[in-house]
């Protein structure tokens, strides 16, 4: 790996590894609780892989007058290339954003969104080619109901093995068919290198199996993966 790989280079390399391998590496590093709740799913189905740096946005259920959420727009205006917009805040039954906000995030160069809440306009977001993983879908807008109150702050997302996973600005988010996981910023490169090695090992095992090697023989040769 180059001495100082760019965010874009790191992101492209993460797109070539699986969340399952990243989870195994994190286990080996003593970080067993970085997996996010299985409720996080691609919306729409087939939305594509999610990889990038966490740009955190926090909100809460707050009745307010009609007219939009100025803080939400300010937060989205700060997104940049290779960012994942990470939305948190215990919204109940409402969507945090829809097609138009997704267009704005994509225009800013964001690589996708991870939403601990709801989204809408799934058909149009799918056509936009902007990968989104969220907990639920909802037609009900957030205006008058849910409001952004901070961004670029630590947030706590629903976890897989613990109740909440802390995600800091600059942590790395990876999500695919198996689910979503958060990689602490200080471990991003170390985890990537180890996951790439594990991925290469799995590719070698698949090739051997296709050539007739039995699973028992493959495990004897390569060890557990």
Q: How many domains does the chain have?
A: 1
The distance in angstroms from the start CA to the end CA of the chain is 23
Q: Is residue 225 part of a domain?
A: no
Please indicate if the annotation marks 121 as binding a ligand.
yes
How many DSSP H helices and E strands does the chain contain?
Answer: 7, 11
Greatest Cα pair distance in the chain = 67
Distance CA 160, CA 28 (A): 17
| For residues 180-197, average pLDDT | 97
The DSSP code for 214 is -
Q: Is residue 13 part of a domain?
A: yes
Question: What is the pTM for the complete model shown?
Answer: 0.91
Confidence of residue 200 (pLDDT cuts 50, 70, 90): confident
- Mean pLDDT, all residues of the chain: 93
Which residues form the domain of 11? 7-185
Q: Is residue 78 part of a domain?
A: yes
Q: Where are the alpha helices (DSSP H) in the chain?
A: 7-14, 19-28, 70-77, 99-107, 122-128, 188-210, 215-222
SS3 assignment, position 143: coil
pLDDT in tens, 25-59: 999 999 999 999 999 999 999 889 999 999 999 99
Q: Is residue 28 part of a domain?
A: yes
Please indicate if the annotation marks 39 as binding a ligand.
no
Please indicate if the annotation marks 101 as binding a ligand.
yes
Q: Is residue 24 part of a domain?
A: yes
CATH number for the domain spanning 121: value is: 3.50.30.40
Q: Is residue 209 part of a domain?
A: no
């Amino acid at each position: 790996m180059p001495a100082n790989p760019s965010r874009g280079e790191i992101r492209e390399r993460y797109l070539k590894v699986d969340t399952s391998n990243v989870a195994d590496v994190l286990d080996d590093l003593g970080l067993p609780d970085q997996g996010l709740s299985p409720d996080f799913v691609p919306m729409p189905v087939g939305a594509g892989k999610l990889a990038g740096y966490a740009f955190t946005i926090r909100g809460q259920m707050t009745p307010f007058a009609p007219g939009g959420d100025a803080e939400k727009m300010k937060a989205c205006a700060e997104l940049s290339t290779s960012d994942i917009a990470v939305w948190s805040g215990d919204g109940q039954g409402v969507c945090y954003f829809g097609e138009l906000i997704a267009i704005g995030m994509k225009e800013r160069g964001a690589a996708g969104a991870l939403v601990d809440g709801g989204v809408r306009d799934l058909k149009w977001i799918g056509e936009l080619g902007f990968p989104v993983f969220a907990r639920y879908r909802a037609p009900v807008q957030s205006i008058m109901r849910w409001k952004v109150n901070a961004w670029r702050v630590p947030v706590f997302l629903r976890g897989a093995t613990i109740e909440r996973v802390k995600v800091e600005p600059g942590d790395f988010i990876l999500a695919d068919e198996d689910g979503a996981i958060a990689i602490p910023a200080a471990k991003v490169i170390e985890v990537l290198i180890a996951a790439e090695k594990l991925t290469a090992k799995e590719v070698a095992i698949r090739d051997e199996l296709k050539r007739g090697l039995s699973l028992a023989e493959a495990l004897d040769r390569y060890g557990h993966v």
